[in-house]
Chains A and B, each alone.
Chain A
Amino acid sequence: MTAQLSGAGPVPAAPATAGPPAPPPRRRHPGRPVWAGRPSTSLTIGKGVVLTLLVAAVLVPLWAVLVTSLASRGTIDDAGGMVMIPREFDPSAYITIFSGGDVTRAVWVSTLVTVFGTTVSLVLTVLAAYGLSRPGSVAHRGLLFYFLLTFLIFPGLVPSYLVVTGLGLKDSLWSLILPSAISVFNLVVIRAFFMNVPAELLDSARIDGAGELRILTRIVLPLSKAVIAVVGLFYAVGYWNVYFNAVLYIDSNDKFPIQRVLQSYILAGQSPNVSGASVNLPGVTAYPPTLAVKMAVVVVTVIPAVIIYPFVQRHFTKGVITGAVKG
């Protein structure tokens, strides 16, 4: 991202009054082109304030949640709720949720769905994208239209629900994977990338006797690592974040994904096993979870995104834009 944009010169921005040209000639930033005038001080300060506020708006809640999850009961009582200043390191909330209860189980369910679902989605999407990236393959235009038409016409909630239940997927983890396994947007992104692989490269491999699958795995995929990483992240995030499909299709508490459990803990204020549950499971607390426990569940839900994200982030623009522009 940074590398791609650093070539771009600064562009005048932000609505404010164009101040008089700043008289004291400070040192010119090497990244600023010679022709671009120095922005007025008020403009610079305004931009600084806006960006600082935006960064704080994201980081302050994350910080508060993390600190509170590691605070002792006394610290939380003293603060009257959320804790902003860490006083000690008390992992007891994490010990509580990971000593085998609904949160532990939900983390396993979500991990399973995410890993398995992402694999299925990536494999199927890459295969389809490769097939559609070669003009002249079987029914190329018709198939492409078939995929792109999904952008214009949607099934409603009711028929989708009836199809999923009619296939016997109710209360099965497959209901969280199969209906959302193919994102045509992701397919278009990968396809656009594949189309940029020079045809000569593939032709020479074909002359050497390589089959299509071999060409895909040995030549095309190694050239497309960036876009595969981005799309993999998109799919993984989608599976990790699945909530509503779980409300629709999953009835047993022991199959609840983490978002569903988080929703009961925070927004309903109790373990999902307490409200309307039939199963009595070990490790389930009947009393409402403490604030530290709630915040620990939030941290556990946030963490996967925060960990994977930095590795993939630099590919965002490439991935997102190729798809958007060339689709």
Chain B
Amino acid sequence: MAAPAAVLLLVFHYLPTLGNIIAFQDYNPFVGDDPLDAFLNSEWIGFGNFEALFRDPLFWDAVRNTLSITAFQLVFFFPLPILLALILNSVVSGRLRGFVQSVVYLPHFFSWVLVVTFFVQMFGGAGLLAQEMRQAGLEPWGIMTNPDTFIVLVTAEAVWKDLGWGAIVFLAALSAIDQNLYEAAAADGAGRWRRLWHITLPGLRPVIVLLLIMRLGDALSVGFEQFILQREAVGRQAAEVLDTFVYYQAISTQQWGLGAAAGLFKAVVGLVLILTANKIAHRLGEQGVYSKS
């Protein structure tokens, strides 16, 4: 019964994974009638693409941008869903909590085109904020076009989209904590903050570690559509991340081998990162993403 799904994954996941070997070719689509034929006729150049890639300053710009954004979001985005879950969990009225949840989950289902659109209409040069500022006699500044603050902008967009959604998993972990622990702690005289520190946070730790590992394994992916949509507005220097670099090298400027090499580099580093993070988690006695079995 799993056969049709397995075949689709074979064709659209595993076959392209193997196709990464064109990273070792000077792939030229015009030496064959179709991609397979072109692949068979293209010249093998060993690590030539990787040499060119590692000498390319644009590639290192993209790596630097990607890692900065990951680090920035780890500090300014990652803890927020935990805080929101704690706040929501402490709201006693079920109806109020349900309402807030319904509203804050919603943007998760919006496409990046929509999210960027909403930000443009609110904070762009012709947006609501700029129009109010002009009426108040102030000069609006380019929130959507300033490369220096782009990292804050993309993080704000990501928070707007996924803050609520990110809280779900923590809410579930909170509801799985044994309530008797709280009652016993309260009876022993532990106050609100001691209970938070000694019961709630330890209860959340496995989930936090799990998500940290997954985030670390994904350190080289910070999103894609969000960046190609805004690349024109803020310029390449700020908005080029690894994924957009691959796209522009390969498909726009037709340097297929170079693009594939960058993609392969990213995949291999990502795999190493996630395996390493998982190993560290095991060492620390956490469960991690997968068990050792």
Collect the chain B residues with CB atoms within 8 Å of residue A82's CB: 121, 127-128, 131
Chain B's interface: helix, strand, loop or mixed, by majority? helix
* A179 touching B12 in the complex, CB below 8 Å, given contacts A302-B110, A302-B114: yes
Q: Does A162 contact B (CB under 8 A)?
A: yes
Q: Does A276 contact B (CB under 8 A)?
A: no
A161-183: CB near B (< 8 Å → 1, else 0) gives 11111110000000000111110
Collect the chain A residues with CB atoms within 8 Å of residue B267's CB: 153-154, 156
Q: Cα distance A240–B259 when bound, in Å?
A: 28
Q: Does B105 contact A (CB under 8 A)?
A: yes
Q: Cα distance A263–B105 when bound, in Å?
A: 23
Q: Does B48 contact A (CB under 8 A)?
A: no
Q: Does B172 contact A (CB under 8 A)?
A: yes
B111-123: CB near A (< 8 Å → 1, else 0) gives 1111011101110
Within residues 227 to 281 of chain B, which ones have a CB less than 8 A from any CB in chain A?
228-229, 233, 243, 246-247, 250-251, 256, 259-260, 262-264, 266-267, 270-271, 274
Q: Which of B192, B200, B243, B251 neighbours the largest number of chain A CB atoms within 10 Å of its CB?
A: B192
Within residues 1 to 39 of chain A, which ones have a CB less than 8 A from any CB in chain B?
1-2, 4-14, 18, 29, 31-33, 35-37, 39
Collect the chain B residues with CB atoms within 8 Å of residue A32's CB: 92
> How many contacts A-B (CB < 8 Å)?
306
Q: Does A130 contact B (CB under 8 A)?
A: yes
Q: Is there contact, CB below 8 Å, between B86 and A13?
A: yes
Q: Is there contact, CB below 8 Å, between B16 and A80?
A: no
Q: Is there contact, CB below 8 Å, between A162 and B90?
A: no
Q: Is there contact, CB below 8 Å, between A54 and B84?
A: yes
Chain A's interface: helix, strand, loop or mixed, by majority? helix
Q: Does B202 contact A (CB under 8 A)?
A: no
The residue in chain A whose Cβ has the minimal distance to the Cβ of B38 is A162
Which of A11, A36, A182 contacts B5, CB < 8 Å?
Answer: A182
Within residues 184 to 201 of chain B, which ones have a CB less than 8 A from any CB in chain A?
186-187, 191-193, 195-196, 200
Interface residues on B, range: 35 or more
Q: Does A159 contact B (CB under 8 A)?
A: yes
8 residue pairs of the A-B complex, CB under 8 angstroms, read A7-B179, A9-B182, A33-B183, A54-B104, A156-B264, A266-B113, A266-B121, A320-B172
Name the 4 nearest CB pairs between A and B, nearest first.
Answer: A156-B263, A159-B19, A155-B16, A131-B1
Chain A positions near chain B (C-beta within 8 angstroms)? 1-2, 4-14, 18, 29, 31-33, 35-37, 39, 47, 50-51, 54-55, 57-61, 64-65, 79-82, 84, 124-125, 127-128, 130-132, 143, 146-147, 150, 152-167, 178-182, 184, 187, 212, 233, 237, 240-241, 243-244, 247-248, 259, 262-263, 266-267, 295, 298, 301-302, 305-306, 309-310, 313, 316-317, 320-321, 324
